Structure 1
Amino acid sequence: MTAQLAFDLPAPASLRREDFFVSPANALALATLDAGGWPQGKMLLIGPEGAGKTHLAHVWAGSAGATIMAGGSLGQADIESRARTPVVVEDAADVAGDPRAETALFHLHNRLAERRLPLLLTAATPPRDWGLALPDLLSRMQGTSVTRIEAPDDALLSAVLVKLFADRQITVPPTLIPWLMLRMDRSLAAARSLVARLDAEALARGGPVSRQLAAEVLDSL
């Protein structure tokens, strides 16, 4: 059989609220964002890579009418115009080491506070670990309340695998998910990488995602 050309195009991930699987690993973070009324109108959502911070931030942004900005792009942003709605800053730690971006986040924080508009930030680590050079920004970030998404439990990891396959419109045998969980690295980043590899291999071979294919892919990792 001639192998098909496989293009590893990014699968569009669904970021709707109904597709956010609630588990003990993230239930407190979801409840905190839903409750609102955060101290000083700001909240920092911390969690490991691929834990669902982006999904949860988009859920909150949709309900709050918030603008979503990337930390690394703040240095080029028109802060005055962006600070007229609630704001989400994703990967806020990316401002560290960029004087323009650090200054922009400092001014964004202050403008939103003046206008009594909420600010949600996401990051993998607490502000003390970001390497911020601007003392006033570090002080404001360290004074921000924190909620966390914890490492994935079995229920969350299983749900994420199901969702990742569904996002790529891949149907798999029901027994494949628990089989994978016993053999894969137990992180959401590993789940995303594994599903992408399985998708690419299945496309290249022109066949389904099966246990045999999964075993071969896992052996190659």
Structure 2
Amino acid sequence: MALQMKFDIPARPALGRGDFYVTHSNAVALGLVDTWPNWPNGKLVLVGPSGSGKTHLAHVWCAESGGRMIAAQDIRTDDVPNLADGPICVEDVEDIAGNTDAEEALFHLHNLVLANCHSMLLTATRAPSAWPIQLPDLASRMSGTTVAKLATPDDILLSAVLAKLFADRQIVPMADVIPYLVRWMPRSFEAAGQVVAHLDTEALGTPKGVTRSLARTALAELEFREETASD
């Protein structure tokens, strides 16, 4: 028997526009992002669950607009003039709710970016109306921002996401693995990431790689399904 060597190769996410698979569940959001030169008031909030493609779409926008990307919690008031010198994407805005310094820094960045006639993209898991922002002026500015929503993935999109996640990890699963996962796993991008990461670990050194049997075991171990009968 040939020795199966284990190589823990890190995933390399592909974040180009050509890697962003479009279906009806994300087409509207993509369309809104694409109209960035004409956003009302120069800004847009991109909303979706964890792993829904927000960061991927943000990278696409930055590439097309020439913008930069920064996490909301990393903004410092002293950096605002430099950050506001072009289009900017601020990720995970809701994470700074209740952080006085971060809220004030974002408030000043928001105002200066728009005063400089640049565009601002913000990302979050929920719409601004659900953010517990404490700074009234920031809350009011966020509540007046157009929202683009990334919906729960349909079968086509979930299949494409799984294929991309496998490809990012340089894995070629057996042909029946992705259809099986789409049928039985939770319909979320976060779950897709967990499943593929788990399969990557479990398949290391196995002669057959990622098979349907291994996928079924992975779903059971992740408690993503209760069925134990053969399928």
Task: Compute the TM-score of the two structures, normalised by the length of structure 2.
Answer: 0.90
Task: Give the conservation status (yes or no) of the 8 Å contact 1:4–1:206.
Answer: no
Alignment: residue pair count: 220
Shift of 1:185: 1.3
CA 1:158/1:216 → structure 2, altered by over 3 Å: closer, same or farther?
same
Task: Give the conservation status (yes or no) of the 8 Å contact 2:86–2:118.
Answer: yes
Shift of 1:98: 1.1
Identity of aligned residues (%): 47
Whole-Å Cα distance in 2 between the matches of residues 62 and 5 of structure 1?
36
Residue identity in the other structure for 1:22: V
Which residue number corresponds to residue 25 of structure 1?
Answer: 25
Which residue number corresponds to residue 55 of structure 1?
Answer: 56
Residue identity in the other structure for 2:147: V
Does residue 94 of the first structure (1) align with residue 87 of the second (2)?
Answer: no
Whole-Å Cα distance in 1 between the matches of residues 140 and 13 of structure 2?
35
CA 1:76/1:14 → structure 2, altered by over 3 Å: closer, same or farther?
farther
Does residue 211 of the first structure (1) align with residue 203 of the second (2)?
Answer: no
1:122 match: secondary structure: strand
Task: Give the conservation status (yes or no) of the 8 Å contact 1:49–1:188.
Answer: yes
Does residue 46 of the first structure (1) align with residue 47 of the second (2)?
Answer: yes
Residue identity in the other structure for 1:122: T
Which residue number corresponds to residue 201 of structure 2?
Answer: 200
Task: Give the conservation status (yes or no) of the 8 Å contact 2:76–2:102.
Answer: yes
Which residue number corresponds to residue 107 of structure 1?
Answer: 108
Task: Give the conservation status (yes or no) of the 8 Å contact 2:177–2:210.
Answer: no
Residue identity in the other structure for 1:136: D
CA 1:5/1:176 → structure 2, altered by over 3 Å: closer, same or farther?
closer
User: Comparing 198-207 with 130-139, which one deviates more in the overlay?
Assistant: 198-207
Shift of 1:5: 6.4
Shift of 1:215: 1.6
Q: Which runs of 5+ in 1 are unaligned?
A: none
Shift of 1:129: 1.8
Whole-Å Cα distance in 1 between the matches of residues 21 and 167 of structure 2?
14
User: Comparing 207-216 with 135-144, which one deviates more in the overlay?
Assistant: 207-216
Shift of 1:49: 1.1
Task: Compute the TM-score of the two structures, normalised by the length of structure 1.
Answer: 0.94
Instruction: Please give the per-residue CA displacement for 1:192-217, whole angstroms capped at 9, x wherever unaligned.
Output: 00000000011154651111211221
Which residue number corresponds to residue 35 of structure 2?
Answer: 35
Which residue number corresponds to residue 160 of structure 1?
Answer: 161
Residue identity in the other structure for 2:17: R
Residue identity in the other structure for 1:12: R
Shift of 1:50: 0.8
Task: Give the conservation status (yes or no) of the 8 Å contact 1:74–1:95.
Answer: no
Q: Which runs of 5+ in 2 are unaligned?
A: 223-231
Instruction: Please give the per-residue CA displacement for 1:102-124, whole angstroms capped at 9, x wherever unaligned.
Output: 00100000001111100000101
RMSD: 1.8
Shift of 1:179: 1.0
Residue identity in the other structure for 2:134: A
Task: Give the conservation status (yes or no) of the 8 Å contact 1:25–1:152.
Answer: yes
Task: Give the conservation status (yes or no) of the 8 Å contact 1:6–1:200.
Answer: no
Shift of 1:100: 1.0
CA 1:91/1:72 → structure 2, altered by over 3 Å: closer, same or farther?
same
Which residue number corresponds to residue 141 of structure 1?
Answer: 142
Shift of 1:128: 2.4
Which residue number corresponds to residue 127 of structure 1?
Answer: 128
